[in-house]
Structure 1
Amino acid sequence: MMRIAWIELRRSNARLVGLLIVVLTGVALLTDVHYWDTQWTRLANYHASAVFVLLPIALAGGAMLGRRERRTRADELLGSTGRPRWQRITPAMAAMAVAVVLAHLFVFAAGGVLVARMTDYTSVRSMIVPVADSVILVGGAWLGFAAGRSWTSPLLPPALAATGLLGQLGLSLAEAPGQMSRLDNLILVPQPPIYDWETVTGRAILGHLALGAGLATAGFLLAAARRWPARIVAVPVVVGAILAAALIPGVGQAGRYRVDHAAQRLVCSGRVCVTAVHQTSLTTIVPQAGRALTLLAKLPGAPTKAVEWRAATVYIPGEADPSAVPVGPGTIAFTLDQETGQPGRHLVEDLVWGAGAPQERCEHADEVGLAAAGAWLLGTDTITTDDLVPEATFDTQVRDTVQALRRAPAAEQTRRVTALRDAATACKPGLTSILTGKDHG
């Protein structure tokens, strides 16, 4: 049987289907190679997004292979042999499965070569995602094969491909924007995670495996069974697979992703630490963060360590940003660009903003006072950060505040900036008046 399967792999359309999968997935990855080539999680998500198109290809390819016997009028001749039907069809189905799986995993492996050169952190769970998606593609190909053995119309392959695409579009449009339910688990292009330390949950992977296994089982039953009672068993198998895929992962991002604490592990160089998933950025960050810590050291009780900001929970679109993993005393946190994993152009300014006070807890911060304190530490009149979108008069207000602060004696300047930092840490208002000396409290 292995020899026959090898012949099928060489002579059937299985190789063509595999080639289409390689081309389409490769094109999908090459459209934005600089986004995913630094992290395994990003590669897995970008690679999985192609399944939206690959499943219809698998359905159509399986249907073309299933039509072969009747299209060539060899079905009666092959049916007259003494071998049972399942033995006759297994080599062809196995050849299609091998072609689909190898093609899908080949592109992921090729992308993995680039990722392995750019990161020191390996996400094993992300590597399981393409395996689960491969099972779905095999299930689609086998269902198409079963359909092709029953209906020989040349319109069947494109009809199955269109059905696969329209079904996915229908699921994505079934709910109002911003609402999430278990139907989202059936969409093969899931919402990607925001942070590099978010990884796919075991439940989400199990849901895809259940869907793929159910589709493959149903396809084999429909193709191999001679009598309708046996074929009817395929219906509850498909229904059960769909229900399992919808129910197992849970609802929304919190069901599909979880925080990978190994990826959040801190890797340090002296006084500066980043997460393990961003370890390759450490050499770029150390000089900038070190300079910011030196500037902050002008103040009493200044932080002595800078660490990358980490989220305590998974980010959920439409909701508030997740809370931060608490940092110890004497530590200040900085953020990295979530698309590149690199620091922004103004990391030093971000760290001295507000004289080192944590600002993510304050809803209505005095931006002018915070900016003026940072500018004073930098020895400039204004300050620019990566997240700042100032109003027209913002720079003028900051400049006036810094100039008013510098008219005070040196010791008084230090006292005021220190007082601003403490007030900002406690989310108190009136920070600008502290620097100008109008707050005598």
Structure 2
Amino acid sequence: MTRMLGLELRRSAALGAALILLVVGVALLYLVDESEWSTGWLQLVMTQRLYLALLWPLALAAGAWQGRREKQSNVLELFATTPRPRAQRAVPTLGAMALAIVGGYLLMGVAGAVRIFSTASYLPAAVLTVTAVGALALVAAAWVGLAVGRLLPWLVTAPLLAVAGLGLLLSIPAATRPKGWLSMVFSPIDEMNMPDAYTTVPVQISASQAIWMTALAVAGLLLFAADGPRTRLAALLPIALGAALAVTVMPHQNRLVVDSVDLAAKELVCAPDEPRVCVSRVHEGLLPEVLPQARAALTILAKLPGTPTRVHEDNSTYLPLVPAPRSADVALVPIDTGKTGDLTPRIVIAAFARPYECETGPDWTDSIAAAYWLIGREPVADEPDIAADAVARWQALRNLPADQAKAKVIAVRDAALGCN
């Protein structure tokens, strides 16, 4: 069997299909929006799942192209005279396609892992389940494609099936509205496009999707290996049973992934010595980068009384809204992978800024002006988050006597602390 599988891998379209998936997948990762997945491992595998919007139809088309091989080669009558049953002859083709497709998908993940390996130290178990469901979805697509290609061995079958697969994935959310949870049962891409730093995919969701994709794969297998109408009709059974079981397992709530938070990813991990600098666990690999800038910011803030003596990452979540704990001695700063080069001024600004959920308190431009007065340099309007008006307000502070300017800066800090 191993020898036959090796022959099938070399002589079939399996390796070519895997290469196409790999090239398209890596191109999507690096050319569309790298910031979507560069935070960590779960964000990477969720983004891979989102890109199944293109990879899944490609796997369908690859299976259909391979499925028409016997008809194209005019060997149907020859194979019909052999003593080996149809199901036995189908195993190498099914296995080769599955191995190649899964290999291409995993290598796509490896290509993304190269980018985040040095900074992503937090590896939740959901990474494995999300990846497994993605790979299973591609196997199901390839096997269904094999079955369709065998039943409809025409040249146009593969491209038409790819278009149909894309249309199916894009239409599932609308077809299941307002039951958003139902869309997640049948679509491997639904809600995978919101992977912020603390997002997770609950295990019930992955279990439901795995059940459905397994049922779809089994149906494709039976159709491809079938040697009569009864066996083909039997392929409907796993689809019916799989759909019913998957719907039962899926929690009947909308926005399941969007509203799911990985509490372990939010936990703070701190540098061992003082002054205390902490980041969330998902950003633990960035701590060596954050530490010197945070301590430089604390040195600047020490010029005023009552300013923060510690820096914590702002691990607030907004869906649902759960603000990070606040205290007068802590400066909270958001941290994004790839955007840690200017943390020192951002931390100082954070000490003068009102919380996100607060509707009163100092204006953002006043916070910037106060922070840069303390830093001792002019804010530049083309720096991130710096408005031109902040430069004018900073200049107004600079033109005041030192004691008056200091009093105004302290007033901005007090207004931020008293915000409610």
- Which residue is equivalent to 2:333? 334
Match of 1:323 in 2: 322
Report if the CA contact (8 A) 1:133-1:212 is conserved.
no
Q: CA deviation at 1:251?
A: 4.9
Q: Which structure 1 segments of 5+ residues have no match? A: 429-441
CA distance in 1, matches of 2:135, 2:326: 41
Q: CA deviation at 1:107?
A: 2.5
2:355 maps to 359
Corresponding letter in the other structure for 2:5: A
The answer (yes or no) to whether the contact 2:46–2:195 under 8 Å persists in 1 is no
Residue equivalent to 1:103: 104
Is 1:283 matched up with 2:281? no
Counterpart CA distance in 1 for 2:70 and 2:284 is 56
Superposed, 1:115-154 pairs within 5 Å as 115-154=116-155
Letter in 1 for 2:418: A
**Deviation at residue 292 of structure 1 after TM alignment:** 2.5
Q: How many angstroms does 1:159 deviate by?
A: 2.0
Counterpart of 1:266 (choices 265, 268, 271) is: 268
1:19-168 aligned at under 5 Å gives the runs: 19-31=19-31, 35=35, 36=37, 39-168=40-169
Taking a change above 3 Å as real, the CA distance of residues 132 and 333 of structure 1, as seen in their structure-2 partners, is same
Post-superposition shift, 1:218? 0.7
The residue identity in structure 1 corresponding to 2:63 is G
Aligned equivalent of 2:170: 169
Query: Which residue in the other structure is 1:348 paired with?
Result: 344
The equivalent position to 1:293 in structure 2, one of 298, 302, 305, is 298
User: Residues 329-374 of structure 1: CA distance to partner in whole angstroms, max 9, x if unpaired?
Assistant: 622211123xx353363x3333333754652232133315544543
Work out the CA distance in 1 between the residues paired with 2:104 and 2:340.
36
The answer on whether the counterparts of 2:332 and 2:351 sit within 8 Å (CA) in structure 1 is: no
Offset at residue 328 of structure 1 (A):
5.4
**Structure-2-length-normalised TM-score:** 0.83
Report matched runs for 1:412-423 at 5 Å: 413=406, 417-418=409-410, 420-423=412-415
CA contact (8 A) 1:382 1:399 kept: no
Q: Give the letter aligned to residue 210 of structure 1.
A: I
Alignment check: 8 A CA contact 1:354 1:369 kept = no
1:7 partnered with 2:4: no
1:256 to 1:214, Cα distance in 2 relative to 1, 3 A: farther
| 1:436 paired residue number | none
> Once the 2 structures are TM-superposed, how far is the Cα of residue 80 of structure 1 from its aligned partner?
3.6
Q: How does 1:209-224 map to 2 (within 5 A)?
A: 209-224=210-225
**Rounded Cα–Cα distance in structure 2 between residues aligned with 1:102 and 1:145:** 18
Q: Please list the CA deviations of residues 44-77 of structure 1 after superposition, one character each: whole Å capped at 9, or x if unmatched.
A: 2333333222222222222233323333343333
Matched residue type, 2:385: D
Structure of larger gyration radius: 1
CA shift at 1:232, angstroms? Answer: 2.8
Q: What root-mean-square deviation, in Å, do the aligned CA atoms of Structure 1 and Structure 2 show? A: 3.4
Alignment partner, residue 375 of structure 2: 378
Secondary structure of residue in 2 paired with 1:273: strand
C-alpha distance in 1, partners of 2:393/2:103?
62
Contact 1:291 1:348 in 2 (8 A): yes
Change over 3 Å in CA distance of 1:427–1:83 after alignment to 2:
same
Which structure has the higher relative contact order (CA within 8 Å, separation 6+)?
Answer: 2
Contact 1:129 1:205 in 2 (8 A): yes
Partner of 1:434: none
Q: How many residues align?
A: 411
Q: Could you list the runs of 4 or more consecutive aligned residues of structure 1 that deviate by over 6 angstroms after TM superposition?
A: 381-385
Conserved in 2, the CA contact under 8 Å of 1:40 and 1:126? yes
Change (3 A) 1:358 1:223: same
Structure 2: distance between partners of 1:8 and 1:352 = 62
Answering whether residue 396 of structure 2 is matched by residue 389 of structure 1, we say no
Q: Secondary structure at the match of 1:307?
A: strand
Which residue number corresponds to residue 417 of structure 2?
425
* Structure 2 Cα separation of the partners of residues 390 and 252 of structure 1: 42
1:296-331: CA deviation from partner (whole Å, max 9, x where unpaired): 3344433211110102x4x54xxxx73223245622
* CA 374–383 in structure 1, closer or farther in 2 if over 3 Å, else same: farther
Q: CA deviation at 1:419?
A: 5.3
Deviates more, 1:220-229 or 1:267-276: 220-229
> Within 2, Cα distance between the matches of 1:54 and 1:206?
21
**Distance between the aligned counterparts of 1:420 and 1:33, measured in 2?**
37
Gaps of 5+ in 2: none
C-alpha contact (below 8 Å) 2:45/2:131 kept by paired residues? yes
Check 1:4–1:382 CA distance in 2 against 1; reply closer, same or farther (3 A cut): closer
1:266-286 Cα deviation digits (max 9, x unpaired) = 232332111232233323322
Shift of 1:217: 0.8
- Greater shift, 140-149 or 381-390, is seen at 381-390
Q: Percent identity?
A: 32
CA pair 164-407 structure 1, distance change in 2 beyond 3 A? same
Correspondence 1:308 to 2:304: no
Normalised to the residue count of structure 1, the TM-score between the two structures is: 0.79
Looking at structure 2, the residues matched to 226 and 77 of structure 1 have their Cα atoms a distance apart, in angstroms, of: 15
Instruction: For 1:58 and 1:382, locate their aligned partners in 2 and report how far apart those are by CA, in whole Å.
Output: 52
What is the identity, as a one-letter code, of the residue corresponding to 2:417? T
